[in-house]
Chains A and B, each alone.
With several copies, the nearest count.
Chain A
Amino acid sequence: MNSPGRLRLNLDPGTVAACHESGQAIAEKVWKELEGLSTVAVERAVARLFGIDGADSAGLPLPNVIVDALSRSGGLEDGVAIHLAKACLETGGEPQDVAEDVACGQLDFASIPDRPRRELEDKARELARRAIDRILDRRKEREELISRLGQSRQPWLYVIVATGNIYEDTIQARMAASQGADIIAVIRSTGQSLMDFVPYGPTTEGYGGTYATQDNFRLMRKALDEESEKLGRYIRLVNYCSGLCMPEIATMGAFERLDVMLNDAMYGILFRDINMERTLIDQRFSRMINGLSGIIINTGEDNYLTTVDAFHHGPQVLASEFINLHFARMAGIPDEQIGLGHAFQIDPWLESSLLYEISMALLVRQCFPNCPVKYMPPTVHKDGNIFFAHALDTMYNLVASLTGQSIHLVGMLTEAVHTPFLQDRFLSIQSAKYVREASRGLSDNFSLVPEELIEKRAQSLLQSAKEVLEHVKDTGLFAAIEEGVFAGVKRDRHGGRGREGVFKKSARYFNPFEEILSSRSKAF
């Protein structure tokens, strides 16, 4: 973990503890309310975990085929695990065979005779354990690569590729790595988050990003592994575990050894108008998988700061981070994998804006000392003046280094113009590398003067965050979102997209992953 050196804010530990308490209470309350529900996306993820992949002749992915079939036959409420176990036992095949047979109409879940509960659960557990082993193998592979190849000192430089074409993306990603990037994110095409299935195969036609597909993950992983070997340092790969297919993407990422996933408990609700219950259930299952696979999640509080004024809305960002943290911990993710999101977004022309940025960046760092905070660059206050944008990024780079951020998303001088060109990424990485190396040790040389602007501002942000959290605890998260507490966005508990994909679990419902992973997570 990177550290802010001697820059320590004097914060009241009682206030921090109170924030944690509220955060945890908020998350637990939500989970209590939702315990009896599952979603089509969770079930499709289970199907994927069982090894189901591919699409039917109409292009519909097989996990969707299975879930649709069960939904029609009325078995979905029991969870797909039980039904797939039964079909495997019946046919002697693998889940993939079952799925293919269902897809071409050769097999019908409704017509498979039932078996004793115990036998079905055991088969499901066996299939789940295989999936878990597969994931743990990829996790071990990552650990071995890192120990063999090494990795950069933090802050790690994180850049995006977003050509829309996975092949062009791999070229650009390789170049970025060779230029000094430590983490490469493949941005998703607009619209994918609202698709209730994950496209299949490699893709070349995204808008503002590239579709997240398992083949695309694999192609990029391969390119970056080759580049890692060449460069002698492990290059991390990122994608977006969000939207209507959050749990499935967690699965695909776990299988393809992604290293980081954008994965937020509330982003889908606020920014994609996805149904609250759907999102909150999906995030939990996806986080169980992310935790298992050793993936670092990144939450999306930075997005609040792009939507509402960053100077005035610091407290809700901090409050949301406490909530996101506790949702993640509840799903079994250790702090070391919880990369809370934060950003440098205050109006640059505000007098002393830099002091406010430093204050908040330190505050986040200090409230969550074991979390690899992902620090996002200025975007909102950039316009087409690419030179000024570059200067702004340079100051942001300094704050990232000074305040000991772990994951440093490299800002682009062309932010207000287009998704990054090859040359934009080069220039931005070059300048971020310069600042990172030139400022090594800076935070060991400075200490904060007590009760000056930086410290006072942080104290007041923390106090207000505590108040926000207490309010959310009292009203409950659902009501708080209905009120518009976060990012100035109001959503209706029963509105939003993907609501139809939420269902009540039957008494027979069984999900072997929930069982195995919750007991595992206790051990963390």
Chain B
Amino acid sequence: MTVDGANPATEKRESPRRKILPYGDRHGDGMVQVSFTLELPDGPEAEEAGRQVMKLMGLTDPQIVSSEPLGPSFTFFVGYGKLLRPVDLDNLKVAKLPWEKLDPETINKMVRERLGRPIIVVGAATGTDAHTIGLDAILNYKGYAGDHGLEAYSAFRVVNMGSQVENRDLVAKARELRADAVLVSQVVTQRNVHISNLTALVELLEAEGLRDDVVLVCGGPRLSHALAVELGYDAGFGPGTKPSEVASYLVQEVLKRKGV
């Protein structure tokens, strides 16, 4: 037993704030929970293989705390281990949002005064993706989480093409309406189908010579600004996005491009 006797202990946080480890029970313990499946029948071999998986993840003190047969030839593991490699916060590249949040009145006023006509926005869920709720949340009047969609702004004229729209139909519509911005939603991500769909759209726009005429934006639960930029988009919006964030971005980007 160790009791600190009469000396009140004051524990120091050993590592400086800018390098951090995962926190389980105590500062710096590095504790991480993992789970995974191996194609091996439950037993000592599988368990040792499970421990090896944890070691391959760089975990110190790997503990398999559960192994469950998923049938005759697969085993599921739950494990806890310590990741003692710190994240260096000073060297973190956080994809910064290149716009600031504005309120609806400001947005409407900016567009009225500086552009003199609404920004034309065309949106669609492309390819075979039939998930419209996210796109509707951004575009439709009703909006999302109490925040109205782009339709509710005088600053935007919105055309929502709905779901399962082929890229070529979207591009044709953008051309027809002389759209200022094209908004694409991608929700299904199995086997990275969203990546190929999104890439194909960029290529098509480029081939048609339209890429520079529009602000190109994508969104969906597995998208982030960083990924969007990587794919050749101007911006990307992930889960929980509010329509007003998209509105703020669009107005700033479109006005900047128009030089007004």
Decide if B23 touches A201 in the complex (CB within 8 Å): no
Digit string of B67-87 for contact with A (CB within 8 Å is 1, else 0)?
010111010101010000000
Q: Does A383 contact B (CB under 8 A)?
A: yes
Asked whether, in the complex, the Cβ of A208 is within 8 Å of the Cβ of B188, the reply is yes
**A195 and B1 alpha carbons, distance in the complex (Å):** 10
**CB–CB A386/B78 < 8 A:** yes
Residue on A nearest B68 in the bound complex, by CB: A385
Determine how close the nearest CB of chain B comes to the CB of A400; give it in whole angstroms: 23
CA separation between A416 and B63, bound complex, in Å?
13
- Given A168-B26, A417-B80; A208-B190 close (CB under 8 Å): yes
Is A202 an interface position by the 8 A CB rule?
yes
- Across the interface, do B164 and A191 meet the contact criterion of CB distance under 8 Å? yes
Q: Is the CB of B191 within 8 A of A164?
A: yes
Contact with A along B44-83 (1 / 0, CB 8 A): 0000000000000000000011101011101010101000
Which of B6-14, B211-219, B224-232 makes up part of the contact surface?
B6-14
Determine if A190 and B128 form an interchain contact, defined as CB atoms under 8 angstroms apart: yes
Within 8 A of A (CB), among B20-46: 23-27, 31, 33, 35-37
Q: Which residues of A contact B72 (CB under 8 A)?
A: 178
Which residues of B sit under 8 angstroms from A423, Cβ to Cβ?
24, 33, 35-37, 70, 76
Q: List 26 A-B contacts (CB under 8 A).
A: A164-B190, A165-B26, A167-B9, A167-B10, A175-B70, A178-B72, A190-B128, A191-B128, A194-B128, A195-B1, A201-B8, A204-B4, A204-B9, A205-B3, A207-B188, A207-B190, A211-B3, A272-B164, A273-B163, A306-B133, A384-B66, A384-B78, A386-B65, A421-B24, A422-B25, A423-B70
Interface of B is mostly: loop
* Residues in chain B near residue A281, CB distance under 8 A: none
Q: B96-133: contact bitstring with A at CB < 8 Å (1 yes, 0 no)?
A: 00000000000000000000000000000001111001
Contact B70 A426 (CB under 8 A): yes
Q: Are A207 and B5 in contact (CB under 8 A)?
A: no
Footprint of B on A, CB under 8 Å?
55, 59, 162-165, 167-168, 174-175, 178-179, 189-191, 194-195, 199-205, 207-208, 211, 213, 215, 271-273, 306-307, 383-387, 416-423, 426-427
Q: Which residue of A lies closest to B194 (CB)?
A: A207
Tell me how far the C-beta of A56 lies from the nearest C-beta in chain B, rounded to whole angstroms: 9
B76: chain A residues within 8 A (beta carbon): 422-423, 426-427
> How many Å from the CB of B5 to the closest CB on chain A?
4
Q: A500 CB to closest chain B CB, in angstroms?
A: 17
Collect the chain A residues with CB atoms within 8 Å of residue B190's CB: 162, 164, 207-208, 418-419
Determine how close the nearest CB of chain A comes to the CB of B36; give it in whole angstroms.
Answer: 7
A418 engages B25 (CB within 8 Å): yes
When the two chains form the complex, which single residue of B2, B4, B68, B189 contacts A201, counting CB atoms closer than 8 Å? B4
Chain B residues, CB < 8 A from A202? 4, 8-9
The answer to whether A422 touches B37, judged by C-beta atoms less than 8 angstroms apart, is yes
When chains A and B are docked, how far (Å) is the Cα of A207 from the Cα of B127?
A: 11
**A469 CB, min distance to chain B CBs, angstroms:** 26
Name the contact of A190 in the complex, choosing from B66, B68, B70, B130 (C-beta under 8 A): B130
Q: Which of A164, A201, A273 contacts B162 (CB 8 A)?
A: A273
- Report yes or no: A199 in contact with B3, Cβ–Cβ below 8 A: yes
Chain B: how many interface residues by the 8 Å CB criterion? 47
Q: Which residues of B contact A (CB under 8 A)?
A: 1-11, 23-27, 31, 33, 35-37, 64-66, 68, 70-72, 74, 76, 78, 80, 127-130, 133, 162-164, 188-191, 193, 221, 239
From the candidates B4, B189, B239, name the one contacting A383 in the complex (CB within 8 A): B239
Q: In the bound complex, do residue B11 and residue A167 qualify as a contact, i.e. CB atoms below 8 Å apart?
A: yes
Closest beta carbon of chain B to A248's beta carbon, Å: 15
Q: Residue of A at shortest CB range from B23?
A: A422
Chain B residues with Cβ below 8 Å from A189 are 1, 128
CB distance from A189 to the nearest CB of B (A): 7
Decide: A419 and B128 in contact? CB cutoff 8 A. no
**Chain A hits for B164, CB < 8 A:** 191, 194, 272-273
Per the bound structure, the CA–CA distance linking A213 and B3 in Å amounts to 10
- Are A307 and B11 closer than 8 Å at their CB atoms? no
A179 touches B70 (CB 8 A): yes
Residue in B65, B127, B133 whose CB lies within 8 Å of A307: B133
Residues of A within 8 Å of B33, CB to CB, are: 386, 423
Distance to closest chain B CB from A85 (angstroms): 28
* Bound-complex Cα distance A60 to B123 (A): 33
Report which residue of B33, B37, B65, B190 has the largest number of chain A beta carbons within 10 angstroms of its beta carbon.
Answer: B190
Interface residue from A175, A421, A426 paired with B25 (Cβ < 8 Å): A421
CB distance from A479 to the nearest CB of B (A): 21
Q: Which residue of B lies closest to A59 (CB)?
A: B5
Question: Which A-B residue pairs are the 7 nearest by beta carbons?
Answer: A191-B128, A384-B65, A384-B66, A175-B71, A190-B128, A205-B2, A199-B3
Closest residue of A by beta carbon distance from B189: A418
CB-CB under 8 A from B64, the residues of chain A are 384
A420 vs B26: C-alpha distance when bound (angstroms): 11
Given A421-B31, A421-B37 in contact, is the A174-B71 Cβ separation under 8 Å? Answer: yes
The residue of chain B having its C-beta at the shortest distance from the C-beta of A166 within the complex is B9
Q: Is the CB of B8 within 8 A of A272?
A: no
> A162–B1 Cα gap in the complex (Å)?
16
Q: In the complex the two chains form, is B25's CB within 8 Å of A168's CB?
A: yes
Most buried by A among B23, B66, B162: B66
Which residues of the partner chain A approach B130 to less than 8 Å between Cβ atoms? Answer: 190, 271-272
Q: Of B74, B78, B129, B188, which is in contact with the most chain A CB atoms at under 10 Å from its CB?
A: B78
With A201-B6, A271-B130, A418-B190 already in contact, 8 other A-B pairs whose C-beta atoms are closer than 8 Å: A55-B5, A167-B11, A191-B128, A201-B8, A211-B3, A385-B68, A386-B33, A422-B24
Report the separation of the CA atoms of residues A307 and B132 in the bound assembly, to the nearest whole angstrom: 9
Point out the residues of chain A lying under 8 angstroms from B74, CB to CB. Answer: 175, 422
Q: Is the CB of B188 within 8 A of A204?
A: no
CA gap between A167 and B193 in the complex, in Å: 20
Residues of A within 8 A of B31 (CB): 421
Instruction: Report the Cα distance A384→B26, complex, angstroms.
Output: 21
Q: Are B25 and A190 in contact (CB under 8 A)?
A: no
- In the bound complex, do residue B66 and residue A383 qualify as a contact, i.e. CB atoms below 8 Å apart? yes
Are A418 and B80 closer than 8 Å at their CB atoms?
Answer: yes
Q: Tell me the minimal C-beta distance from A13 to chain B in angstroms.
A: 38
Evaluate whether A426 and B6 lie within 8 angstroms (CB atoms) in the complex, with A163-B25, A191-B164 already known. Answer: no
The residues of A that contact B37 with a CB separation of less than 8 Å are 421-423
A518: min CB distance to chain B, Å: 34
Q: How far is it, in angstroms, between the C-alpha of A163 and the C-alpha of B11 when the chains are bound?
A: 13
Q: Considering only CB atoms, which chain A residue lies closest to B65 in the complex?
A: A384
A82 to B31, CA, bound (A): 54
Known: A271-B130, A418-B25. A207 touches B191 (CB 8 A): yes
Q: Could you tell me the distance in whole angstroms from the C-beta of B146 to the nearest C-beta in chain A? A: 13
Are A178 and B188 touching (Cβ within 8 A)? no
The complex places the Cα of A387 from the Cα of B7 at a distance, in Å, of 42
CA distance A365 to B29 in the complex (A): 42
Distance of A189 Cα from B2 Cα, bound (Å) = 10
- In the complex, what distance in Å separates the CA atom of A120 from the CA atom of B227? 63
